[in-house]
Amino acid sequence: MNLPATFAAPRVNGARLWDSLMTLARIGATRKGGVCRLALTDLDRQARELVMQWARELGCGVRIDAIGNIFMRRAGRRDDLPPVMAGSHIDTQPTGGKFDGNYGVLAAIEVLRTLTEQGIQTDAPLEVAIWTNEEGSRFVPVMMGSGVFARAFTLEHALAQQDRDGISVAQALAAIGHAGAQAVGGRAVAAYFEAHIEQGPVLEAADTVIGLVQGALGQRWYDITLTGMEAHAGPTPMGLRQDALLAAAGLVREVNRIALEHAPHARGTVGCLDTYPNSRNVIPGSVRMTADLRAADDATLDAMAVALHAACASVRQSGAVQVDVKEVVYFPPQRFDAALIGHIAEGVRALGLSAMDVVSGAGHDAVYLARVAPAAMIFVPCKDGISHNEIEDARPDHLEAGCNVLLHAMLRAAGGIPGGGLQERAA
């Protein structure tokens, strides 16, 4: 629906949103002020049921699909229309924070609370989604529920995955009573919005409240094994060594250089480095390491991959160390929907907020949803850019502002009455 730029949406209750976040954070609370609520544990069940209770109190219907995704639906005047959906996840890292994922779900709940409180009905139905196992800290792959919904992998594959104790996703869903009967995906979604803390320092550094997320970086992950020869650290001259760790150190520098050469949106990280035999006085004979390359477009990501392989080939040519490289993950770069970004930008202007274009360096459920529906994200700052950490924090006024933008965008996407306006107050 095209709406006048001067359209003014109602405002959410920021204090209520904050209270909901703090209430949810008590389930799995840690001593350092964070949250440990792994996917499909009993704590996850408690959190899921609390949010579903809040949705039912608003008159929403609640459905759970076969991978445990939850959809809380507020009827529209034309309930046959595809829903306008918003959401995220409520599972956390083992040392997670109160806001990652949780904010997106509870901001969407606050939108429904505000509309119900104001007696506002939309043409299209609205849905709040909770996606299963987004974090991937208990089960792999990450973003599991949204991935199955978007047909990135099959339901059967996801259900068969096991945690470290050998418990499968299917068993865990059954144990918490969240193995739903609804088919996963295969239905139209008019629009999907996800509000999220940035999980990085860009917005805070720019003193900007809203990030207009243009898309998500593509990712290529590699496992690299370097094989030399372990030897005594004393008798072996420097020029005669086959030092796998020395070669690995060169590759670490190369990963960093490759990312810097493709600034500003490229990323390069070596997050794991395992050395054998890991003894003080033995020259390392082998090293296993990872490389994580990210970029905003495939051309750049491909160029970075070529550069990494060239660096590995250079190590091989030295003759001292062998190198094996395997790509283990590929996520293509994902652009978000221009029209939905426009709805978000209209809300920013109407609310008089500061905003800037950003890209998401992390994966989110919205990245998978964008494969099957128009999708967009709203970022708000988090303190010092810290996330996946118990000290993760965000300002209440920023969270409220992002929720107001979400409200505005969802209303614009949800359609209105013939002949003008977006909304109609229920009789």
In sequence order, what DSSP letters do the residues of 156-200 get, joined into one string? HHHHH-B-TTS-BHHHHHHHHT---SBPSS-S--SEEEEEEE-SS
**Lookup: tokens for 114:** 């505000």
Look at residue 416 and tell me whether its pLDDT is greater than 70: no
Residue pair 339/376 in contact (Cβ under 8 Å)? The answer is no
Contacts of residue 240, defined as CB under 8 A and 6 or more positions apart, other chains included, come to none
**Lookup: tokens for 74:** 């507020």
Distance of CA 219 to the CA centre of its chain: 13
Letter for the amino acid at 214?
Q
Band (328; pLDDT cuts 50, 70, 90): confident
**Lookup: tokens for 401:** 């502002």
Contacts of residue 264, defined as CB under 8 A and 6 or more positions apart, other chains included, come to none
Look at residue 169 and tell me whether its pLDDT is greater than 80: yes
Tens-digit pLDDT profile for residues 195-231: 999 999 999 999 999 999 999 999 999 999 999 999 9
Band (8; pLDDT cuts 50, 70, 90): low
92: left (phi over 0), alpha (psi -120 to 50) or beta: beta
Say how far apart CA 317 and CA 137 lie, in whole Å: 38
Say how far apart CA 198 and CA 385 lie, in whole Å: 7
Q: CA torsion angle for 178, 179, 182, 187 (degrees, to 10)?
A: 80
pTM for this entry: 0.88
Burial class (CB in 10 A: 0-12, 13-18, 19+), 216: buried
Residue pair 267/199 in contact (Cβ under 8 Å)? The answer is no
pLDDT for res 325: 98
**Lookup: tokens for 389:** 């950490």
pLDDT for res 244: 98
Residue pair 381/203 in contact (Cβ under 8 Å)? The answer is yes
Look at residue 424 and tell me whether its pLDDT is greater than 90: no
Say how far apart CA 162 and CA 180 lie, in whole Å: 19
Look at residue 68 and tell me whether its pLDDT is greater than 60: yes
Q: Which residue, among 185, 89, 86, 69, has the nearest Cα to 137 in the 3D structure? A: 89
Say how far apart CA 162 and CA 158 lie, in whole Å: 9
Angle CA 173–179–180, to nearest 5: 155
| Coil, helix or strand at residue 395 | coil
**Lookup: tokens for 412:** 């614009």
Mean pLDDT across the chain: 94
11, β-bridge pairs: none
Look at residue 7 and tell me whether its pLDDT is greater than 90: no
Look at residue 180 and tell me whether its pLDDT is greater than 50: yes
Band (417; pLDDT cuts 50, 70, 90): very low
| Long-range pairs for 315-318: beta carbons < 8 A, 24 or more residues apart | 315/226, 315/247, 315/250, 315/251, 318/247
Stretch 286-291: mean pLDDT: 98
- Residue-wise DSSP of 79-125: TTSPPEEEEE-----TTB-SSTTHHHHHHHHHHHHHHHHHTEE-SS-
Look at residue 251 and tell me whether its pLDDT is greater than 70: yes
| Coil, helix or strand at residue 283 | strand
User: pLDDT over 70 for what percent of the chain?
Assistant: 95
Distance of CA 179 to the CA centre of its chain: 23
Distance of CA 157 to the CA centre of its chain: 21
